Amino acid sequence: MERLQRLRQAVRRFWKKTHMNQIIILAGAVFLLAFLGFFWYFAATANVESLKKGLAQSTVIYDKDGDMASKISANRTEGVSIDKMPDHLKNAIVAIEDHRFYQHNGFDVRGMSSAFFKNIVAGRITAGGSTITQQLTKNALLSPERTYKRKVEELFLAVEIEKKYTKDEILEMYLNQVFFGHSAWGVQNASRTYFGKDVEEIDLSEAATLAGIVNAPSALDPYNHMDRAIKRRNTVLGAMKKYGMISDKEYENAKKEQLVLEDRGRDPIKGKYPYYVDAVLDEAIKTFGLTQDEIMTRGYRIYTEMDQNIQSSLEKIYDNDRNFPQGMGGELVQSGSILIDPKTGGIRGLVGGRGEKVFRGFNRATHLKRSPGSTIKPLVVYTPALEEGYKPDSLLKDEKMTFGKNYSPDNYNGQYQGEVTMYKAIEDSINIPAVWLLNEIGIDKGIDAVERFGIPLQKNDRNLSIALGGLSTGVSPQQMAEAYSAFANDGKRLDSHIITKIVGPTGKTIVERKQKETKVTSKKVAKDMTSMLLNVVESGTGKGVNVSGYQIAGKTGSTQLNNQNRNGTADQWFVGYTPNLVGAVWMGYDRTDENHYLSGLSSQGVVPVFQTIMQGTLKYTEPTKFDVDSINTQIQKQYEKDHPFKTKAKEFNKKLKDSTEKLRDKAEKGHKKMKEKFKEGKENWKDLEDRVKEKIRDIQGD
């Protein structure tokens, strides 16, 4: 105890002797000055004078060659002057967002203090306390993250903006770029999107509704949440009354008004390739953490893997209804397709649907979750079987049987051959051999393989029905194309992607993709699979896909209808590839029922669609050959090797037949020529005879 007391006294003497209090205070002051100095410098050097120009920039999408492909804009260039905005709109925004807007110089100490204490109570940042100027700063110059560092940056920049612009200019810029939900940026677009009229025509109730939406655009969207939107509108009207902007009578009348919605807004995608651009936004948001608001308003340059020739061809095919089966019940047969470079994983083109396109709507090339049917067989059954020592000509059982207690799958045509080779089972897409083989090698082997191919699985997918595509959540064309890319790339799978890098408006690279490669299987197994999948296209269920100069391997797939009284399919798939391009196509209805389904098999439905796509897009890739032959060609070569005399005799007979046909053609041509000459001579004799007779008549007449 005495030692501890002596230690404390020694520390106190040292503290006083070295003036530690003064040192700490001085260090704190220096740190604070440096801290504030940094942010002051940051604000002073920020080019706030170019704010108006910056708000008019579009985000530009570039293709794989660095050429401009499309633009994304929040339509801020269609903003309106503050003079054309009705006073009740300006008052509504000020009342609910920043009622001291005309009193402060960029930041409001009262508002920030209130927000600070709210955050302390909540234990996290829930309230921003931002003024309209600070919100403009955040939207135009800063990231949307909620941190105290960003709040300080926001504060200093807001002060600089207030020095450069008048209050009306600040309010005009804010109202012309703020996001109102439903793909509408700026009050002009919001007015047309929600009420079908220009901003100068909206009344008090409509203005209060728009002002209320800004706080939470998705949650307060009147198209989806009318009750919430009205409640929020009334809150705005209450604030306007509180601050003397409207009278009691105006308040009551506006509260009673019914909102009449009418959408005359515009799609914010200004350029071409809307489905591809939608997918660009999805990837930028999900993979790189950007927000839609940032992308639409910051003027980024986004570099992608798009091939504009392939994308344009794909869109033309989908715009032509004759390329697809006729729909039932007045609905379109829907489809989604995607094309990937197997060597890089780059998505060269995609289309997410047919008919009317909705901005950032459902994209069937990337968002779809449907059973892949038999297209999963090479992934979950035949690849792991080859890895376990099976060969393309291994015999597999094909007879009616029950697996476990109650799983009794059927072949589609109800026919069973007893035994078939592996390549024949793949070629004709026979079900029983696939299920039997998965049972033989073990479900764990299949699960491991399909996960290596990048297909996500659920716990309840661990059963033999996975051999026929029985998945809990299904797959998208993007996932299937990426999986099959391993066969085209010697067993290696690269993550499918669109974006290579994103560059900010200042020229700084914000994000850049790092390539990720996964070894799925060996080069030999990939070649064996390709040799069997070439057979599918040459003589199996994919027969009909044939582009001159290109070798195409692939697999069809379909899912059965729940209604056994109907003859058709719910989903149809084709996943195919060349050495340089992998394509996956899904076709079906968004909602399959007894009145909406695909009649016939994949060979009559999706196969012709895939053929049209390959015909239109492969010409923009190199016609490289696989370094493996199809099973059909291998069998033919082996036959010629084993039976050289028969082969030579066959070749001699063919030559003899060709020679005979040539002689026959020559004889027929000679005979035809002689016949024509005889006919011509006969006509000449008849003409001479007629002239002699005419001469005799003349003599007799004389």
Given a cut of 70, whether residue 85 has pLDDT beyond it is yes
pLDDT at site 38:
47
630 neighbors 569 (Cβ within 8 angstroms): no
Question: What span, in angstroms and rounded, lies between the C-alpha atoms of 499 and 512?
Answer: 8
The span from the CA of 411 to the CA of 419, in Å, is 13
Residues 6 or more apart in contact with residue 98 via CB below 8 angstroms: 108, 111, 130, 131, 132, 135
Instruction: Outline where 46-108 has alpha helix (H).
Output: 51-54, 87-97
User: Is the distance from CB of 514 to CB of 520 less than 8 angstroms?
Assistant: no
Please, which residues have CB within 8 angstroms of residue 473's CB and are 6 or more apart in sequence? 369, 456, 458
Distance CA 575, CA 483 (A): 10
pLDDT at 193 over 60: yes
671 CB contacts (<8 Å, ≥6 apart)? Answer: none
153 or 366: which carries more pLDDT confidence? 366
Residue ranges of E strands in 403-458 = 418-421
What CA–CA distance (Å, rounded) separates 396 from 378?
15
Residue 29 has pLDDT above 70, yes or no: no
Cβ–Cβ under 8 Å, residues 269 and 310: no
Which residues are catalytically annotated?
Answer: 97, 374
Of 368, 427, 273, the closest CA to residue 589 belongs to: 368
For residue 299, what pLDDT is reported? Answer: 83
Angle between helices 204-213 and 87-97 (to 10 degrees): 40
599: β partners: 568
Dihedral, CA of residue 197, residue 198, residue 202 and residue 208, to nearest 10? 100
- In this prediction, residues 566-581 reach a mean pLDDT of 93
Q: Which residue's entry shows tokens 């000449």? A: 684
What length does the chain have?
A: 702
Give the three-state DSSP class for 696: helix
Mean pLDDT of 77-87: 83
Residue 117 phi/psi, 5° resolution? Answer: -70, -35
Burial class (CB in 10 A: 0-12, 13-18, 19+), 76: buried
- Quickly list DSSP for 561-601: -S-TTS-EEEEEEEEEE-SS-EEEEEEE-SS-BTTB-EES-
For a pLDDT cut of 70, what percent of the chain falls above it? 76
Range of weakest confidence among 143-157, 167-181, 514-528: 143-157
Distance CA 467, CA 423 (A): 16
Nearest to 519 by CA among 487, 545, 553, 493: 493
**H or E stretch at 511:** strand 509-512
pLDDT at 80: 87
Q: What is the DSSP string of 479-497?
A: HHHHHHHHHHTTTEEE--B
Residue 51, pLDDT above cutoff 80 = no
Whether pLDDT at 608 is above 70:
yes
| Residue written as token pair 């890089």 | 344
Degrees to nearest 5, angle at CA 516 with 512 and 521: 165
Q: Which of these, 186, 205, 207, lies nearest to 90 by C-alpha position?
A: 207
Element containing residue 156 per DSSP (H, E)? helix 148-164
Q: How would residue 43 be classed by pLDDT, with cut points 50, 70 and 90?
A: very low
The winner for highest mean pLDDT among 26-30, 346-350, 514-518, 665-669 is: 346-350
Cβ atoms within 10 A of the Cβ of 651, count?
Answer: 11
Overall average pLDDT of the 680-685 stretch: 61
Question: Nearest to residue 101, comparing CAs of 42, 162, 157?
Answer: 162
Going by DSSP bridges, is the β-strand pair 598-599/517-519 parallel, antiparallel, or unpaired?
Answer: unpaired
20-24, 96-100, 556-560: which range is least confident on average?
20-24
For residue range 226-282, what is the model confidence (pLDDT) as tens digits? Answer: 999 999 999 999 999 999 999 999 999 999 999 999 988 765 556 689 999 999 999
| Spatial distance between the Cα atoms of 323 and 631, rounded to a whole number of angstroms | 31
Of residues 644 and 579, the one with the higher pLDDT is 579
pLDDT at residue 475 is higher than 90: yes
State mean pLDDT over 408-423: 94
Does the pLDDT at position 692 exceed 80? Answer: no
Average pLDDT over residues 49-60: 65
pLDDT bracket for residue 433 (50, 70, 90) = very high
> Averaged over 481-501, what is the pLDDT?
98
Q: Is the confidence at residue 428, as pLDDT, over 90?
A: yes
Is pLDDT of 41 > 50?
no
pLDDT value of position 671: 62
Closest CA to 176 of 289, 74, 104, 103: 74
Nearest to 482 by CA among 344, 611, 374: 344
DSSP annotation of 58: P
Helical packing angle, 87-97 and 167-177, nearest 10°: 90
Task: Identify the CA nearest to 454 among candidates 521, 403, 534, 388.
Answer: 521
What local confidence, expressed as pLDDT, does residue 329 receive? 84
Does pTM top 0.75 for this prediction?
A: no
Residue 421: Cβ-neighbour burial (10 angstroms; 0-12, 13-18, 19+): middle
- Mean pLDDT over each residue of the chain, to the nearest integer: 85
Is the pLDDT reported for residue 126 higher than 50?
A: no
Residue 674 pLDDT > 80: no
Instruction: Please write the tens of the pLDDT for every residue from 314-371.
Output: 999 999 999 999 998 889 999 999 999 999 999 999 999 999 887 788 999 999 999 9
Percent of the chain with pLDDT over 90: 58
Res 316: pLDDT? 97
